[in-house]
Amino acid sequence: MSITSATASELLAKMNSGEISSEEITSACLDEISRRDGSINAFLSVQQEAALEKAREVDRKRKAGKPLGKLAGLPVALKDNICSEGVTTTCASKMLEHFVPPYDAHIVEQLKAADAVLIGKTNLDEFAMGSSTENSAFKTTTNPWNTAYAAGGSSGGSAAAVSAGFAPLALGSDTGGSIRQPASFCGVVGLKPTYGRVSRYGLVAFASSLDQIGPFARDVTDAALILGTIAGKDRRDTTSLDAAVPEYTSTLEQPLKNLKVGYIELLHEEGLHAEVKEATLRALDVYKSLGAEMVPITLPHAKYCVATYYIIAPSEASSNLARYDGVHYGYRAPHFENMIDMYAASRGEAFGDEVKRRIMLGTYALSSGYYDAYYLKALKVRRLIRNDFEQAFQSVDIIATPVTPTPAFTIGELVDDPLAMYLADIFTTSANLSGIPGISIPAGMSKNNLPIGLQLLAPPLEEERLLRAARMFERETDWHLKRPV
């Protein structure tokens, strides 16, 4: 077993048996980053010394027989929009290039309490706005399977880090598919929990009613392991749900009996790549072979998801990003005539094109005379989308769909076509708009040897059901075992 291709569970077992140390695992990951990240660009910063010191501390505790956390000694990478005390958190933007948070995000506190080794901060589309990690102000993350292709976005750095063997676990954020889409492109597991299942305290806000933190892992077991570590109520996040967190790993190997899998007629729409359609239908056949019942469902308002999302998300972004004015913190333009000029120059120089585009879209949608026509109407359609899912889940246990309409696209292919890039989110935005959990699991390969994912959706707070259903598929296939050469 190679350290950098092993799962987190395998590494934990070997550390607990004394076969390997956390320092050895961390050193192997750091060596792999040093050797290969120059072509992949998964990381914006690597905390080498701090990671090694934490690994040695865990090794000492383990050797002394002291109590250890769930993730003791495992390297974890963090998307660089999650605040870590004393560590630069840039959101891949010149606006926050030198911002050092004075506090930890809630999930960082949870990881530290679990004795995880925080190895570095990963690249993303600026302020998490994008689907390819080409909108980063600093570098473009490439796909570990083929560096001519995009890793997806906005959490492309975290997905690439797990796929490339730089870390067995990583965290990202998902506002409209930003965990599931790059997970699909990079051939790893990516989970977006129920809205409120994981605290957003310390996550730099993009669209507050849509953002959710979730894990990347090499298999479903590892995703269940880290989700159980970071989920739970946090009083500092008013949207955090006060609901018991199951021990996800304890029921994972129990197949769901009398499983009903819903599928939608979107599989027959134009624009769905033939290889994605084929992989999705093959996945449904796997569930059939396990005795699951395939149930056709309708989501009448699904066709409005992208339009609804790209009104609500930019509107919330325009409000959230108003705080970056060159006064309190963040970038301030070096030359300006007066205060208004300082605001305009600072924001104009520090924000990238995609962020500016979304701020302008959102400001327009919220402006006087247009609020009712756009933002208010979008909120009403959002309610209808949620109603569709509530109705569907009365007759099915989970819903299976593609993650993206195509396999990974080449770098630069869509960067000048924002509408085509936005349409890459056609299958993922509905889960954010309705607040339900969704997971991407490896389910195939294209003829170009690029991964293809399957998306499973479940009702709110049914992550346990979602993970068990995903594990059923994983046990019958070997897509999750494949690694980029």
pLDDT for 271 beyond 90:
no
Distance CA(253)–CA(251), nearest Å, equals 6
The residue among 138, 126, 130 whose CA lies nearest residue 414 is 130
The residue whose two tokens read 């998306």 is 455
Q: How far apart are the first and last CA of the chain?
A: 15
* CA 454 from centre of chain: 15
Tell me the percentage of the chain whose pLDDT exceeds 70.
Answer: 99
Mean pLDDT over residues 80-94, rounded? 98
Mean pLDDT over residues 298-324, rounded? 96
Question: How many residues can be counted in the chain?
Answer: 485
Which are the contacts of 37, defined by CB distance < 8 A and separation ≥ 6?
Answer: 43, 164, 166
CB-count exposure of residue 256 (10 Å: 0-12, 13-18, 19+): buried
Mind telling me the catalytic residues? Answer: 79, 154, 178
Which are the contacts of 417, defined by CB distance < 8 A and separation ≥ 6?
Answer: none
Looking at residue 267, its pLDDT comes to 54
Looking at residue 270, its pLDDT comes to 67
pLDDT for 423 beyond 90:
no
Q: Where are the alpha helices (DSSP H) in 367-441?
A: 377-392, 418-423, 429-434
Mean pLDDT over residues 138-146, rounded? 98
DSSP state, residue 3:
G
The residue among 173, 164, 126, 182 whose CA lies nearest residue 40 is 164
Tell me the percentage of the chain whose pLDDT exceeds 90.
Answer: 95
Distance CA(11)–CA(103), nearest Å, equals 30
CB-count exposure of residue 17 (10 Å: 0-12, 13-18, 19+): exposed
Contact between 42 and 123 under an 8 Å Cβ cutoff? The reply is: yes
Q: Where are the alpha helices (DSSP H) in 17-124?
A: 22-40, 48-63, 106-113
Looking at residue 78, its pLDDT comes to 98
Mean pLDDT over residues 127-155, rounded? 98
Sequence letter at residue 260: K
pLDDT tens, residue by residue, 97-115: 999 999 999 999 999 999 9
pLDDT tens, residue by residue, 185-204: 999 999 999 999 999 999 99
Mean pLDDT over residues 334-353, rounded? 95
Mean pLDDT over residues 334-351, rounded? 95
Mean pLDDT over residues 9-22, rounded? 97
The DSSP bridge partners found for residue 297 are 264
Looking at residue 1, its pLDDT comes to 66
Distance CA(333)–CA(39), nearest Å, equals 32
Furthest-apart CA atoms within the chain: distance in Å: 71
Contact between 385 and 307 under an 8 Å Cβ cutoff? The reply is: no
pLDDT tens, residue by residue, 117-133: 999 999 999 999 999 99
- Which 3 state secondary structure label does DSSP give 309? helix
The secondary element (H helix, E strand) that includes residue 173 is strand 169-173
φ/ψ of residue 400, rounded to 5: -110, 130
Give the domain 3-254+401-481 fold: Amidase signature (AS) enzymes (3.90.1300)
Q: Where are the domains of the chain?
A: 3-254+401-481
Contact between 94 and 350 under an 8 Å Cβ cutoff? The reply is: yes
The residue among 360, 353, 444, 348 whose CA lies nearest residue 404 is 444
Pair of tokens at residue 246: 């199951």
Taken in order 273, 279, 282, 288, is the CA torsion positive or negative? negative
